[in-house]
Amino acid sequence: MVNGNQNSVFSKKPLQCAVILIFLSLISFSNSYSQFGRLYVNVPSEAHIFQLHYYNTHSNTWVDESIPVDENKSYTSLASLSYTKMMNYFGRSGGIGAVIPVSSLLSYNTGTDLITQRVGGLGDPSLMLDMNVYGGPSLTREQMTKTPPTTYMSAHFVWGVPLGSYNDTKSTNIGSNRFSYKFTLNQSFTTMKGKNWLDIYGSVKFSGDNKKYLGSNVLSQQPAYGLEIHYSQDVGNKWWLNAGGIYSGGGKISVNGVEGKEQNSFKLGLAASFPTWEHGSAIVSYNHSVWKTDGSPDVNQLIIQLNYTLYP
């Protein structure tokens, strides 16, 4: 049904294939977590997707939630704009995109109540590559209206670039001053032709060294792992509700070779999606740490996401 042009992809779309190969070579595998379900549902191959995100976070971390600082608490307001161009990759649905974040950060020492950081600026941008593995064929908008959603699996790569605001005299920062590489694999099940979804996300994130941590110290981090399970259900024609659990582990930090503690934490999350304007929707989500070990992220977070799909 959708594989008729598989043999001619390289001849007809050499630039797209080159981009895929470049990304696969750069983004080996890659803790930002997904936080709710239905993130990777199939959309028409001709779509241009624009998303505006807002995150209001109270935590013991940097803006990068994989870097906890137990003696500090931080308030973060982050807004980001993302763009994804959907494409046909060998008959499968896929996309390529970018995220540009801007953030403010206020941190204080929990022992002295003194402010340790107050800053605003650009966050670390990221480049994204998404590709369906099975169950999500590349379909046009017209074809999709005639094709009920089915169980699918897809793979997702994110390459974080260290261009964000960074001050090497501060213990918390907006930018992480290191490259990051994240790989996510999702398996999504539906028993009601897209009216309900069970989403399972597994991820691993690799990070480079920050060689300017509090001066000339070197901050290194072992791979950070994530596992999320979310269930969502349609309510009416265009609303859906979601509940899920988010586990994060690994990510042990060392400074100049002196290792810290292994990270282990678990969050619960709720989300609701509703229509806004034509081809648009909004998602409101909240997640909260309910268990963690010492040296792990402790996060309370509100997320508002606005989505708009443009068709040529």
pLDDT of residue 312: 87
Report whether 137 contacts 2 (CB < 8 A).
yes
| pLDDT (tens digit per residue) in 46-95 | 999 999 999 999 999 999 999 999 899 999 999 999 999 999 999 999 99
Looking at the predicted structure, is the pLDDT value of residue 30 above 80?
Answer: no
Q: How far is CA 108 from the centre of its chain?
A: 27
CA dist., res. 79 & res. 279, Å (int): 21
Residue among 71, 56, 180 at smallest CA distance from 116:
71
Write down the pTM of the prediction: 0.88
- Please report, for the chain, how many H helices and E strands are present, in that order: 3, 17
For 196-247, write each residue's pLDDT tens digit: 999 999 999 999 999 999 999 999 999 999 999 999 999 988 999 999 999 9
Neighbours of 54 (CB within 10 A): 14
* Separation of first and last alpha carbons in the chain: 23
| Phi, psi (deg, nearest 5) at residue 60 | -110, 30
Hey, which CATH number is domain 6-310, 3.30.70.120, 2.40.128.130, 2.40.50.140, 3.40.630.30?
Answer: 2.40.128.130
Tell me the pLDDT of the chain averaged across its residues. Answer: 90
The whole-angstrom separation of Cα 178 and Cα 16 is 28
pLDDT at 19: 38
Mean pLDDT of 118-140: 96
